[in-house]
């Protein structure tokens, strides 16, 4: 079985959503996590998706792109949205200095509140990090000193130093279709170096379709191509890699049963 640790099934509507889930299962993807990007209506949507499809779980949180919208979430509000048996994580939250769609101070404040929610609930925090390595590492270090919390750097595209910091602090790293891109040697080097018990794969659908499907809307079924590339990078067989990442997933997302 292969696990897609990060997808956005809310981008698929109606019958297209059910078809995407069916194609994933036919490809051998046994578990999917659909991701929260806003509280309120969007969080209700991802919870409903998890309710609708066997093998699909959800996270709830505010994406850094949306961190400038309205009042900052309270820790209590985040925890209330996560009070559902199929919600297995907090987020995604983090820092995105590439698009800068929200002021950086707001992104940082929102991120810290999501960390507090992860620490308080014990649910893993799904972390978005883009072009923000220094501030991301500093916040992770600072918050770790306040108390441990489980976390996942999703769709890894950062530098090796951030990966090493995350691993040292107990974090897990998830690789998307970018791992398969011809110019992604640096990401493959991080994937080769990351301890085996800290590896996951994902689609981040509907974006970043892996080779050989570049240019197509990405969907959870395509995670098998990313998994195949990670197996190659690690010198593992496909079944061995699938068992490894599935075990890692269930240790991190312990509520996903």
For the stretch 179-232, pLDDT in tens is: 999 999 999 999 999 999 999 999 999 999 999 999 999 999 999 999 999 999
At 77-93, the pLDDT tens digits run 999 999 999 999 999 99
Check residue 208 and give its pLDDT.
97
Structural domains of the chain, ranges and CATH numbers in brackets: 2-252 (3.20.20.140)
| pLDDT bucket at 171, cuts 50 / 70 / 90 | very high
At 93-107, the pLDDT tens digits run 999 999 999 999 999
What average pLDDT does range 156-185 have in this prediction? 98
Please give the full DSSP string across the chain, using - where no structure is assigned.
-EEEEEE-GGGS-THHHHHHHHHHHHTTEEEEEE---SSTHHHHHHHHHHHHSTTEEEEE---GGGTTSSSPPPHHHHHHHT-STTEEEEEEEEEETTT--S-HHHHHHHHHHHHHHHHHH-PPEEEEEES-HHHHHHHHHHHHHH----EEE-S--S-HHHHHHHHHTT-EEEE-GGGGSTT-HHHHHHHHHS-GGGEEE---TTS-PPTTSTTSPP-GGGHHHHHHHHHHHHT--HHHHHHHHHHHHHHHSTT--
């Amino acid at each position: 079985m292969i696990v897609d640790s990060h997808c956005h099934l809310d981008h698929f509507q109606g019958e297209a959503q059910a078809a995407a889930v069916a194609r994933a299962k036919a490809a051998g993807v046994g578990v999917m996590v659909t991701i929260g990007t806003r509280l309120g209506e969007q969080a209700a949507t991802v919870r409903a998706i998890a309710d609708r499809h066997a093998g699909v779980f959800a996270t709830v949180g505010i994406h850094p792109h949306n961190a400038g919208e309205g009042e900052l979430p309270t820790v209590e509000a985040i925890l209330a949205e996560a009070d559902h048996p199929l919600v297995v994580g907090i987020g995604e939250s983090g820092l995105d200095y590439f698009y800068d769609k929200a002021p950086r101070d707001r992104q940082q404040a929102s991120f810290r509140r999501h960390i507090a929610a992860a620490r308080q609930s014990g649910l893993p925090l799904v972390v978005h990090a883009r072009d923000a390595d220094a501030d991301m590492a500093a916040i992770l270090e600072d918050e770790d000193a306040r108390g441990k919390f489980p976390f996942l750097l999703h769709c890894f595209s950062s530098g090796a130093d951030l990966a090493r910091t995350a691993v040292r602090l107990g974090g897990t790293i998830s690789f998307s279709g970018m791992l398969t891109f011809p110019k992604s040697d640096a990401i493959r080097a991080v994937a080769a170096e990351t301890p085996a018990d800290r590896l996951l794969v994902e689609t981040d659908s509907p974006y970043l379709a892996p080779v050989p499907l570049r240019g197509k809307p990405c969907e959870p079924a395509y995670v098998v191509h990313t998994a195949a590339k990670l197996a190659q990078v690690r010198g593992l067989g496909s079944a061995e890699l699938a068992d490894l990442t599935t075990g890692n997933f269930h240790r991190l997302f312990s509520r996903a049963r």
